[in-house]
Amino acid sequence: MKNYLFDENMKMADLILIKPSLILLLPRFNIPLGFGDKSVKELCRSHGISTDFFLIICNIYSFDNYVPSPDKVIATDMSMLDCYLEASHRYYLEQRLPHIANHISRMTCEMHGPAGEILRRFFEEYNSEVVAHFKYEEQNVFPHLKKLLANGKSGDYRIALYSPSHTNIEDKLDDLTQILFKYMPEDVKTYEAIGALFDILQLSEDLKKHSLIEEKVLIPYVEYLERNQER
């Protein structure tokens, strides 16, 4: 039956048994493997991470209907939020996207006619949209958050200017999966296409959680800091 939300007394190893993809989050918190039977609380303490923050992220990734309440967000130590989001960006940009690009180029070089070029170009365009979106956040939103976290004062930027919507980016990734499994020309090697598809589905799931964190944690928290600043 359904699991309860994770809590700080559970063993980290048990969390991962329940939701294996949580291992992808560990590098974003600088937590190495080999944590034995440590509980979430012990593990977070030994790495200087806010346990509540860590649990919010793990729970959002693990439970589809879970969204932390605004009160919970405000009451949580968010000092690592910017580092976490930046580390996620690095992971997508430096690990996942190049990996998928490799899959696609191996897959498309076998294809006859213009189809291969069409797909490659579609992915490249998607890739550059993601880069642009991340760049905006890194140049505007994250520095704003850092200033507010450091001294409660910010520059002129306001979070209201920011829309976390990755909708167009997400739609394109969804479209790519549809094209790959429904409309792929038959001359593509199945295992290459499956490999690409598997990685794309995984990235897509990860990115949807990432936008959820921006929408339900980042925005309400920065709004709260902005309100405090104006007082």
- Which stretches of the chain bind other proteins, using CB under 8 A? 1, 114-115, 117-119, 121-122, 125-126, 129, 168, 171-172, 174-176, 178-179, 182-185
Closest CB to other proteins among residues 140, 177: 177
CB of 127 to other proteins, least distance (A): 12
Cα(77)–Cα(118) distance, rounded to whole angstroms? 46
Closer Cβ to other proteins, 81 or 104, answer by number: 104
CA distances 144 to 109, 119, 219, 222, 226, Å, are 44, 37, 12, 9, 10
Shortest spacing between CB 72 and other proteins, in angstroms: 25
Q: Which is nearer to other proteins, 200 or 222 (CB)?
A: 200
Look up tokens 């980042």; give the residue. 218
> What is the spatial distance between Cα 203 and Cα 84, in angstroms, rounded to a whole number?
17
Q: Residue 15 contacts by C-beta under 8 Å, 6 or more apart in sequence?
A: 6, 22, 40, 58, 62
Q: How far is the CB of 160 from other proteins (least distance, A)?
A: 25
Cβ closer to other proteins: 62 or 177? Answer: 177
Judge contact between 44 and 77, C-beta under 8 A: no
CB of 121 to other proteins, least distance (A): 6
Query: Cβ of residue 122: shortest distance to other proteins, in angstroms?
Result: 5
For the packed helices 51-62 and 81-90, what is the interaxial angle rounded to 10 degrees? 40
Cβ distance to other proteins smaller for residue 149 or 184 = 184
